[in-house]
Amino acid sequence: MLPDREVAAVLKKFGPEIEAYLKSQRFFDIAGPYTATDLLNPRAMAAYRKASLAKNREVWSVLEKWLFPEMVDFGTAFIVAYGLIKPPNVREIATDYMGARGGFLIKRMTATDQKRLTAFIWQNSMKNERPLARQILKEPNLVSIVAGHRPETIIRTERGRAIRSGARIISLEAGAKSRIRREVGDHRTRPSHRKIMGEEVPMDRPYSNGEMYPGEVDINCRGWEEFNFSPKVADHPHPSMAKLQELYG
């Protein structure tokens, strides 16, 4: 039997909203077994989604505080590196990106929370509540909802996406006609990305894998783009690649 002090420690891992919800579902009661369908009824799942949305909005608000100025700083460096004569408004580009990306990320994170918790409870529906509560903290896919490497992955991935998206929009507004997909090309490069190394596409068309820019869909993408500006500043390290190397090593 899990001592009360350990149960309390488990509850703290979830945060106040999810803790309150799981308590209301008698998730940590002594008696069992737990019934998975209790969590899957529409009212109960709506409560869980509400708690998850609140948590993920907080994650994005923290991320946005420094991602916006970083995107502006990168855009300015990008313009200098390419020697663009009529630079676009990088703050406006960053504002538009943050508004659209923030809403998308929050919804996707919440959907992931729901899917992971639901799947786990279905798979373990015949276990008593306290053993199930203890086990949930040993599951990488579940503990990562509230701890572990997930926040790091979100931050690294969103920084990379902001850099690539900003570079593409700046280049498009500054008159670039096409861009070339580049990849690191080592053993960590995805096979699907290796296939499109060197592929050149118009600025308004996606690559053959469906992405408008490297990392639009995949996490931890290390690819970058070169744009057809000419002349490019001689011997200047490509700004996208330099920043991505800093993030992904």
Backbone region of residue 185 per phi and psi (left: phi > 0; alpha: psi in -120 to 50; beta: other values): left
pLDDT of 235: 44
- For residue range 197-248, what is the model confidence (pLDDT) as tens digits? 999 999 999 999 899 998 888 888 888 888 887 545 434 456 666 666 676 6
Q: Where are the domains of the chain?
A: 4-248
Question: Distance (Å, rounded) from C-alpha 158 to C-alpha 110?
Answer: 16
pLDDT in single tens digits along all 249 residues of the chain: 455 666 667 667 677 777 777 777 677 666 666 677 777 777 778 887 888 888 888 888 888 888 999 899 888 888 887 888 777 899 999 999 999 999 998 998 888 888 888 887 787 777 776 667 667 766 666 655 555 566 677 888 888 899 899 989 998 888 888 999 988 888 888 888 899 999 999 999 999 989 999 888 888 888 888 888 754 543 445 666 666 667 665
* Closest of 249, 215, 248, 241 to residue 74, by C-alpha: 241
Q: Where are the beta strands (DSSP E) in 10-133?
A: none
Centroid of chain to Cα 132: 28
Q: Where are the beta strands (DSSP E) in 35-193?
A: 178-182
